[in-house]
């Protein structure tokens, strides 16, 4: 059944239903896949491999936010120095590629310019089927980069291309994006916690 499937009598009843859906969606994420994603990112950060992230619309916002929390957050109180780049952040290069090449290649063009074998690509797409996301995942796999895909709905093509799929069982964009945002925070905070002195943890804000 889709959510929502009716109008609500008040915003608080809608909010209550929305938060219920968010709780269900968060529990749908596979714990094994989440553990694998944390290990993959931690190892990439340790060897100073680049981690690229991309998305469209709200997922572009999550991509840009991920850079902040993983680049700045993970290294706070640790010896880890992550290299994290959002392929969704530079409007000048995005519009140049879209105008002169194609919108479908806005991420692959950047990857082909900067990425090396052993790097990691994180794709964020509720549908999992945006053409520029799919092409980015295909390029990464063909060039020996690992792929983590955050998806929703039926997962789309990127869920099948990814080495690790963090899939959210929901058909509501807001619920999916909220869960993707939470996964981004969870990965950053867990990796930071894993590398901090235990005595510091209770003294810090996360």
Q: Which listed CATH number (3.40.50.300, 3.40.50.620, 3.40.50.150, 3.40.50.10490) goes with 31-196? A: 3.40.50.10490
Q: What is the pLDDT of residue 128?
A: 97
Q: What is the pLDDT of residue 135?
A: 98
State how far the Cα of 59 lies from the Cα of 23, in Å rounded to an integer: 20
Mean pLDDT of the chain: 97
Per-residue confidence at 157, pLDDT binned at 50, 70, 90? very high
Residue 15 CB-density burial (10 A; 0-12 exposed, 13-18 middle, 19+ buried): exposed
Buried b (16+ CB within 10 A) or exposed e, 20-52: ebbeebbeebeeebbebbbebbbebbeeebbbb
Residue 50 has pLDDT above 80, yes or no: yes
Q: What is the pLDDT of residue 147?
A: 98
Q: What is the pLDDT of residue 123?
A: 98
Number of H helices, E strands in the chain: 10, 5
Q: What SS3 class is residue 7? A: coil
Residue corresponding to tokens 């968010």: 22
Largest CA distance in the chain: 54
Q: What SS3 class is residue 86? A: strand
State how far the Cα of 42 lies from the Cα of 161, in Å rounded to an integer: 21
Residue 1 has pLDDT above 80, yes or no: no
State how far the Cα of 143 lies from the Cα of 139, in Å rounded to an integer: 6
Determine the Cα angle at 30 with ends 56 and 201, to 5°.
85
């Amino acid at each position: 059944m889709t959510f929502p499937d009716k109008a609500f009598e008040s915003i608080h009843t809608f909010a209550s239903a929305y938060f219920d859906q968010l709780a269900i969606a968060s529990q749908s994420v596979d714990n094994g896949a989440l553990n694998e994603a944390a290990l993959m990112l931690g190892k990439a950060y340790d060897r100073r491999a680049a981690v690229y992230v991309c998305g469209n619309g709200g997922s572009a916002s999550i991509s840009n936010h991920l850079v902040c929390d993983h680049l700045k957050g993970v290294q706070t109180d640790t010896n880890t120095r992550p290299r994290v780049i959002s392929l969704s952040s530079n409007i000048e290069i995005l519009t140049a590629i879209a105008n002169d090449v194609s919108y479908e290649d806005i991420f692959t063009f950047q990857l082909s310019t900067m990425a090396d074998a052993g790097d990691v690509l994180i794709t964020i797409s509720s549908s999992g089927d945006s053409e520029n996301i799919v092409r980015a995942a295909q390029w990464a796999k063909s060039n020996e980069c690992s792929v983590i895909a955050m998806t929703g709905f039926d997962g789309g093509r990127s869920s099948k291309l990814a080495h690790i799929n963090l899939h959210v069982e929901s058909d509501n964009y807001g619920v999916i994006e909220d869960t993707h945002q939470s996964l981004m925070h969870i990965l950053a905070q867990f990796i930071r916690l894993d590398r901090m002195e235990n005595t510091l943890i209770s003294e810090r804000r996360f």
